[in-house]
């Protein structure tokens, strides 16, 4: 049986619904492995595997494979995500209609689990801004969002305070707050070394500050989704109670999460425990803002059609606009046009839709982000690699040209795009960004 940090059992004693004996025993068992499929790239994968009860796209794997060795993982066909976190899907399905083109902020987004889930739910409609305050973590967030391949998603690197400048802008804000991490004790026992009552108090103060900072950015009638992977009342129900008392907000109940003997519904949210559901620990709660004033936004007055070189790569170019900024030439969804100028004015943006590429002389060199885009033209030249060659490509090796093709080609594995290659007479030069390459040694002979 697992040895919890000193004082942890007593700390949880106010949770009268918790059978500590069973909870403790579950910590001696293996954490389940789950993945969430990309709705377009991964829709034919893992069909035979058991579904996560609260997520249409979630699947349980029988064991943990080495995901690095699966090119489909690199292509963004699925995201490895703890099952309880996938409950966000059931929440969005109930409280948001993607056809209304909602503007959604994921405030604490790295490494991108909830953001890729939201992007899947929107599936190109509305706008998602995925933000991460810690610069070193914003890079991995961008990489995961790049892999997901949608033109209505942006990545920013800002402190929650800076969102008060975007008053009443968002229909939904997700705050998956930094927390003391007790919900991860089974999966990551090292997290126990950092746990203490002081850490819980420190996290609770920070969570309250984050929510107060971002509250003005939520529209009246907008939805706040708050979660932590901590079991502590101080970081969960107490935070929600204060939010309701200090701001005007009402709790929303989520029908799909009413699963008896699996998810605990408390007065102020939903709790996942490893001894009750096939998941790690999570608290999640959904509130509707009931006060504040609507702001009038002026939708973009001008939109630019895609240039011919870029349009030739896209399946339905008229559904997208071209937008130039400090990052380069971007392909953005038409819905994103309504918000991009405000975001550019107030935030530090690392990604705005899909970076298309550059004209070098007369030649257009597509960016890696474009290879990951879900709306590529099926007519572009492709090279389909077998597993060995796909792994060599992902290690950034040059590939012998045995494919009877020349020039820029989309490199694929089982129909899924991995990146670009430039085919010369005897080899295919590898355009995979260095930072994306597989670094670990793998035997390919
Ligand atoms: N939502 C992410 C996902 O599903 O992959 C996980 C988010 S993790 C629980 C919390 C995030 O909050 C971390 O990426 C952390 O860097 C960030 N964070 C830390 N301090 C913060 C602060 N003061 N304000 C906002 N975010 C913070």
How far does Cα 19 stand from its chain's mean position? 33
181 lines ligand 1 (CB under 6 A): no
- The answer to whether the CB of 42 is under 6 A from ligand 1 is no
Q: Looking at the predicted structure, is the pLDDT value of residue 1 above 60?
A: no
CA angle 323, 328, 334 (to 5 degrees): 20
Considering the segment(s) 8-289 as one domain, its CATH architecture is: 3-Layer(aba) Sandwich (3.40)
119 lines ligand 1 (CB under 6 A): no
Nearest protein Cα to ligand 1, atom 18: 178
Measuring from atom 17 of ligand 1, which residue has the nearest CA? 108
CB 317 within 8 A of CB 370: no
Q: From the alpha carbon of 141, which atom of ligand 1 is closest?
A: 5
Please indicate whether residue 140, judged by its CB atom, sits closer than 6 Å to ligand 1.
Answer: no
Helix, strand, coil percentages (3-state) for the chain, rounded to 5, are 30, 25, 40
Topology annotation, domain 381-445: 2.30.130
What are the structural domain ranges in the chain? 8-289, 381-445
Ligand 1 centroid – CA 138 distance (Å): 10
* Tens-place pLDDT, residues 305-350: 999 999 999 999 999 999 999 999 999 999 999 999 999 999 999 9
Is the predicted pLDDT of residue 362 greater than 90, yes or no? no
Give the confidence band of 296 by pLDDT, cuts at 50, 70, 90: confident
Q: Token pair of 188, please?
A: 């990551």
Confidence class for position 223, pLDDT limits 50, 70, 90: very high
Q: Does the pLDDT value for residue 99 go beyond 80?
A: yes
Report the DSSP pairing between strands 399-400 and 427-430.
antiparallel
Convert the pLDDT of each residue in 399-429 to its tens digit.
999 999 999 999 999 999 999 999 999 999 9
Check if 183 has its Cβ closer than 6 Å to any atom of ligand 1.
Answer: no
Question: CB–CB of 57/39 below 8 Å?
Answer: yes
User: Which residue has a Cα nearest atom 11 of ligand 1?
Assistant: 108
Q: Is the CB of 208 under 6 A from ligand 1?
A: no
In sequence order, which residues have a C-beta less than 8 Å from that of residue 285 and are 6 or more positions away? 225, 226, 227, 236, 237, 240, 251, 268, 269, 270
- Residue 176 Cβ inside 6 Å of ligand 1? The answer reads yes
Q: Please tell me the predicted confidence (pLDDT) of residue 2.
A: 62
CA of 411 to the centre of ligand 1 (A): 34
Task: Report which of 264, 262, 309 is spatially closest to residue 283, judged by C-alpha positions.
Answer: 264
% of the chain surpassing 90 pLDDT:
93
Q: Whose CA is nearest to atom 14 of ligand 1?
A: 110
**Total-model pTM:** 0.98
């Amino acid at each position: 049986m697992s040895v919890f940090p000193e004082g942890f059992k007593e700390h949880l004693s106010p949770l009268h619904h918790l059978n500590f004996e069973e909870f403790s025993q579950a910590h001696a068992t293996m954490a389940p492995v789950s993945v969430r499929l990309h709705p377009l790239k991964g829709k034919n994968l893992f069909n035979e595997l058991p579904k996560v009860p609260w997520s249409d796209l979630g699947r349980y794997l029988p064991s943990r494979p080495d995901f690095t060795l699966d090119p489909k993982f690199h292509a963004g066909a699925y995201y490895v995500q703890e099952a309880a976190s996938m409950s966000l899907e059931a929440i969005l399905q109930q409280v948001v209609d993607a056809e209304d083109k909602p503007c959604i902020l994921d405030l604490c987004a790295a490494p991108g689990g909830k953001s890729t889930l939201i992007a899947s739910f929107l599936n190109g409609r509305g706008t998602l801004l995925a933000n991460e305050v810690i610069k070193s973590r914003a890079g991995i967030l961008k990489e995961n969002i790049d892999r997901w391949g949608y033109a209505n998603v942006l990545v920013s690197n800002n402190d929650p305070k800076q969102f008060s400048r975007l008053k009443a802008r968002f229909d939904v804000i997700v705050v998956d707050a930094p927390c003391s991490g007790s919900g991860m004790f089974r999966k990551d026992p090292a997290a126990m070394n950092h746990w203490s009552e002081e850490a819980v108090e420190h996290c609770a103060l920070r969570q309250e500050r984050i929510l107060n900072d971002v509250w003005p950015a939520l529209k009246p009638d907008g939805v706040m989704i708050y979660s932590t992977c901590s079991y502590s009342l101080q970081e969960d129900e107490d935070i929600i109670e204060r939010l309701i008392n200090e701001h005007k907000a009402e709790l929303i109940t989520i029908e799909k999460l009413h699963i008896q003997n699996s998810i605990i519904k408390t007065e102020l949210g939903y709790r996942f425990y490893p001894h009750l559901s096939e998941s790690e620990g999570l608290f999640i709660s959904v509130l509707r803002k009931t006060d504040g004033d609507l702001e009038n936004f002026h939708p973009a007055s001008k939109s630019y059609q895609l240039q011919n070189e870029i349009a030739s790569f896209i399946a339905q170019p008229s559904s997208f606009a071209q937008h130039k900024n400090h990052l380069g030439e971007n392909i953005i969804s038409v819905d994103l046009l309504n918000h991009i100028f405000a975001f550019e004015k107030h935030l530090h943006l690392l990604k705005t839709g899909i970076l298309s590429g550059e004209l070098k002389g007369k030649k257009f060199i597509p960016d890696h982000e474009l290879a990951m885009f879900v709306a590529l033209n099926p007519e572009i030249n492709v090279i389909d690699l077998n597993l060995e060659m796909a792994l060599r490509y992902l290690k950034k090796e040059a590939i012998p040209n045995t494919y009877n093709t020349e020039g820029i080609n989309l490199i694929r594995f089982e129909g899924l795009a991995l990146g670009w290659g430039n085919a010369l007479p005897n080899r295919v030069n590898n355009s995979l960004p260095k930072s994306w390459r597989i670094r670990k040694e793998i035997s390919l002979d």
